Amino acid sequence: MKALYPGSFDPLTLGHLDLIERGASLVDELVVAVLQNPGKSPTFPLEQRLHQIRVSTAHLSNVTVTSFDGLTVECARRHRARLILRGLRAMSDFEYELQIAHTNRSLDPDFETIFLSTAAHYSFLSSSVVKEVARFGGSVDHMVPPVVAEDLGRFFNSAFHPPSR
């Protein structure tokens, strides 16, 4: 069984990585698909986000990383994934994610969406929160993988403190 985990991942957080690891344990192959959204100006270019995810998931042999534009169901179809993985942090996420799941299902009833709840200790994380903390020079080492923390430090020209792992 193959699943697709779509998102902008700008940047990848430890909450995303937690879902990737847990999702990968449930399926034979997990495709992490990074959305190229022409309506948004991402912090990191697409190639850098792909690199960050590949580095952060190198320990997972059944995870592949790709990019897409357009509809999620079209990307899932191209990769022959029948499941779409989505994460839920709070009830506010549920309403939005349910709407997207129903929309995807209306476009192609052969696709199923599965929801995983984010680990409680990552439930506060969002890419927006991470960027805000980094923008003002705060440490994001406990919020993102090391490669992302380094890139954020360079991007926001703030003091970077390597994680002590």
CB 17 within 8 A of CB 52: no
> Which residues have a catalytic role annotated?
16, 40, 89, 127
Q: Which two tokens stand for residue 18?
A: 């937690």
CA-based nearest residue to 73, from 88, 87, 84, 85: 84
CB 162 within 8 A of CB 146: yes
Q: How many CB atoms lie within 10 A of CB 25?
A: 10
CA 23 vs. chain centroid, Å, equals 12
Strand-pairing partners, residue 64, are 31
Cα separation of 4 and 29, whole Å?
9
Packing angle, helices 146-155 and 46-56, rounded to 10: 150
